[in-house]
Structure 1
Amino acid sequence: MIPGSFLIYLDMTVVNVALPAFREQFGLDLGGLQWIISIYVLAMGVSTPLSGFLADVWGVRTTLVAGLGAFVIGSVLAGLAPGLGVLLAGRAFQGIGGGLASPLASAQLLRAFPPSERGVAFGVFGLVLIVAPATGPLVGGWFVDAGQWRWAFLINIPVGALGVYLSSRHLVDARAKRRPAFDALGALTCTVGCGALLYGSSLAGSLGWGDPATVLFFAIGAACVAVFVPHELWNTKAPLLDLRLYRSGTFASSSSLGHISVVALFGAEFLYPIYLQMLRGLSGVASGAILLPIALGAGLAMPLAGKLYDRVGPRFVVALGYALLVFNSWQMSQLDAATSTRWLVALSAVRGVAIGLTAQSTFASAMSVVAPEAAPRATALITCTRYVVQAMAVPLLATVASTRLSHPIPWAHVHAAAGDTGVLGLCDAMRATTATMDAACTESLRGLSRAYRATCGFAIVGLAVAVFLPGWPGEWPVLQPISRRVARR
């Protein structure tokens, strides 16, 4: 599961630093560049709800392998794309494959490990979810700086093929005892609704929230959700996404915390590379190096978080993670044009530790009340809703960051100031150029500060919710591994 899952989450960020290369290669404007990212998230959001149903029909292993196969095909198309159309088709195939495979990897873990060991299992597996997106900018930056952006996709082929081989040979297959009925209305309203919300979010990032097209697609999404929710709760015996799981307080609070972390953590991740590259003028590799401690911090924290989760429950672990996130987000809101590289690296490391403590602990807590046979539907529900929240958080924070930006950013002057010596950021170039650049830099930094203060607010809400999770200092049913309890008797 690890090779395929690594590729799926790596591709969420690896292309971000390659956008200038795409613009130069295909002559794209901002709208075309945005679609390279949006089509991937859109395809994942549409296909994820179907993964649970297909797993019940085909089996978990077969569906997971099919998803990885589609991802590899998409990587071939994107890596060899002669134009934007083929590139977008490849990204769509990657998204469909990722949407089918990623929820089922977590479902397999739930089946493979007893409750007393799931914290450690999810902690180790969660490294993939953190390391992959965090190393994406570094890998992509290295290929872009070498003039080989196509390898950002082509490198997926051998690793993806290895994932297909290992999954088909070693994963235990499982499917529903009886073939479930297909929830046609649920599938239609969920697919159209998620697609409309995701597409509306992508339009909001480029056209604005009040644009008629944005409002139209959000209205379509809202109408579909208004039909989907009561239908899934009361009108079908085989729901596509089992919303009845939210009747459990633990599942509802834990999954909600996961959604808050998506906004506070991942929703703001796109702001950091913008600050490093566009404002400070760092290269793709240098930016990736500063972002890498996020992965390292998470890599150190996540296995420890898993062990603590098994012993004391989610309350202490998640609350500690959100406390760190409150501190980190506030410090990120104080960034300026002269913030030292050492402090940026330290902030990245703290952010990684916060991710390591919260991301998989909230997921494991939600899944702790789910029966193994319901795992595919539950993971599809959590994953699908997180994609939608993440897709809406990015343009929302982008709007917060760009509000009151009265001066158009004079990128032509920045590039002219850089000349042939390299790339200068807006806040570097302004020191030797015009007052307009000075004002644009100042307002851009203020916008960045507003966005990070907003994520700090979400983190405070998450901390308040986390203290109501089960676990120490209250009771936790699995205080130590079962084997140890048996040994002491």
Structure 2
Amino acid sequence: MTAPIETGDIAEFEQDFAAGTVAPGRTPLVIKLLVAATFVVILNETIMVNAVPRLMTDFQITSTTAQWALTVFMLTMAAVIPVTGWFLQRVSTRAAYATAMITFSAGTLVAALAPTFGVLLVGRVVQASGTAVMMPLLMTTLMTVVAAEDRGRVMGQVTLAMSCAPALGPAVSGVLLHMGSWRLIFVAVLPIAVLVGFFGHRALENVGETTASPVSWLSVVLAAGGFATFVYGLSKVGNAEWQEPTLLIGAGVVLIAAFALYQVHLQRSERPLMDLRTLKHRNFAVSLVLMSAGFMAFLGSMILLPLYLQDLRGLSELQTGLLVMPGGLAMGLLGPQVGKLYDRIGARPIVIPGSVVMVALLFGLSRIGAETSYVVILALHVALMISLATIFTPVFTIGLGDLSPQLYSHGSSLLGTLQQVSGAIGTALLIVIMTNRGKHLAEGGASQGEAFVGGLQWAFATGAVIGVVVVAMALLLPSKADAPAAHH
């Protein structure tokens, strides 16, 4: 998962930290600790995917209600992440870490003991609130303590948490559900979270300086209401009459627009909740569009393949999890190598070929049928995840590297928010296209299996079209980030 913490790491980091430097080619202890913690908390975003049938039985609820165990986590992330830019500037690294891990652990305990489904949802909300702090904290700290020429390699280690954890979630839960109750999922995670939190807090050093600034509560309400409503509307697409999702999405867009305008107003007095001046930095703006399109294709395909394997091919949740797990592991393990390559040759020689290959592989997945060999599916999925690793690691690095240090936390927060939103958009879009195409084919006389495959093929083809945006944005990237000092 991460490199082991060696004897002498703490002392060496303290020396480096005091000198304001970190030895080249060496990953700071603070980053190792934050990657480990981020891995643990992000794992929980997808770990309940296989537990929905068990929840339906235990709590006597419908599948639509049970899905809230997944949806509420995503909604909370979308609502809380916009606040993290302000939060991370106001509190120390250790305080932010302690807040995130205590909150996450408390939510995990509540979920493990939940006597009712409502209490389980409360636990998931609390879990997600802690998770929402970790990724921006990791990104902001990395940009602060790692020298520019070494950031690609270290950012590659972040890919471990970003990609391996969601990919492992279904497989881990499949094994635990095979052993017993859904509560085992939380019982297994809790001691790991507590240990990582405890030892991490003991070893962490504070990074950067805090700034005391008042919180704009109107901004908090607009951000939380806007992003949560928008993502909730997207989650309802295909599961409700068109009026309800449309109204929710529309209301979310209005609230998000009001939030953005209010942030521009607050920037004049230097107290925005999320500083949108990050968007004036060209490389960051290009990276943001590229990452959003990439996550739409990435998360959309993460949803489609399990649906195909379980609903059409009849695999169990555990078998499905094990089949898609190699792709996530390949993506995560390749991240550090891609990062090292970025440090040597820059972004364009890696991202442009990677994005072209991604589009080709998504088109390849759009040709799978009811009898396609599992070996072919596995190979396509692993290759797709590898191509995404060549995109995400350099783009994260070059995007945040374009910002001045005081904007790191705001840039990380905006990046995290758009990951959630674009993932929800991609998932909703591809599911709707698959459903509508399948329905059209069924009405035309196709069998249930033929209709499903036809819908799936159109959905993957749409993912490939979204991937063309990634290629276009990749062509706009510079080879290396501009020096942040050049920006004002």
Equivalent position of 1:56 in the other structure: 89
Correspondence 1:71-470 to 2 at 5 A: 71-174=104-207, 176-208=209-241, 210-211=242-243, 213-236=244-267, 237-406=270-439, 439-470=447-478
Distance 1:300 1:3 in 2: 14
How many residues align? The count is 447
- Per mean C-alpha deviation after superposition, the further-off stretch among 460-469 and 217-226 is 217-226
Whether the aligned pair in 2 keeps the contact of 1:142 and 1:284 (CA below 8 Å) is no
Mapped pair 1:70 → 2:103: yes
Q: CA deviation at 1:120?
A: 0.2
Q: CA deviation at 1:226?
A: 2.2
Q: CA deviation at 1:232?
A: 1.6
Whether the aligned pair in 2 keeps the contact of 1:3 and 1:159 (CA below 8 Å) is no
Q: CA deviation at 1:177?
A: 4.7
Distance 1:170 1:385 in 2: 31
Q: CA deviation at 1:477?
A: 6.8
Whether the aligned pair in 2 keeps the contact of 1:290 and 1:348 (CA below 8 Å) is no
TM-score w.r.t. structure 2 length?
0.87
TM-score w.r.t. structure 1 length?
0.87
Q: CA deviation at 1:146?
A: 2.5
**1:403 alignment partner, SS class:** helix
Equivalent position of 1:2 in the other structure: 35
Q: Deviations over 1:395-433 (max 9, x none)?
A: 221111100433999xxxxxxxxxxxxxxxxxxxxxxxx
Distance 1:112 1:376 in 2: 13
Whether the aligned pair in 2 keeps the contact of 1:176 and 1:373 (CA below 8 Å) is no
Q: CA deviation at 1:334?
A: 1.1
Q: CA deviation at 1:112?
A: 1.9
Distance 1:319 1:151 in 2: 43
Q: CA deviation at 1:166?
A: 3.0
Distance 1:234 1:132 in 2: 38
Q: Deviations over 1:69-111 (max 9, x none)?
A: 1111111122222221111111111111111222111111112
Q: CA deviation at 1:458?
A: 0.9
Amino acid paired to 2:464: C
Whether the aligned pair in 2 keeps the contact of 1:193 and 1:224 (CA below 8 Å) is yes
- Per mean C-alpha deviation after superposition, the further-off stretch among 294-303 and 261-270 is 294-303
Gaps of at least 5 residues in structure 1 are 410-434, 479-489
Distance 1:153 1:204 in 2: 29
Q: Deviations over 1:197-239 (max 9, x none)?
A: 122122224215x22x322222221221222222222443221
Whether the aligned pair in 1 keeps the contact of 2:90 and 2:210 (CA below 8 Å) is no
Equivalent position of 1:45 in the other structure: 78
Matched-pair identity in %:
27
Whether the aligned pair in 2 keeps the contact of 1:312 and 1:476 (CA below 8 Å) is no
Correspondence 1:465-484 to 2 at 5 A: 465-471=473-479
Amino acid paired to 2:263: E
Whether the aligned pair in 1 keeps the contact of 2:39 and 2:160 (CA below 8 Å) is no
Amino acid paired to 1:322: S
1:453 to 1:397, Cα distance in 2 relative to 1, 3 A: same
Amino acid paired to 1:442: E
1:27 to 1:163, Cα distance in 2 relative to 1, 3 A: same
Gaps of at least 5 residues in structure 2 are 1-33, 484-488
**2:239 alignment partner, SS class:** helix
**2:447 alignment partner, SS class:** helix
1:264 to 1:200, Cα distance in 2 relative to 1, 3 A: same
Whether the aligned pair in 1 keeps the contact of 2:177 and 2:184 (CA below 8 Å) is no
Distance 2:390 2:322 in 1: 22
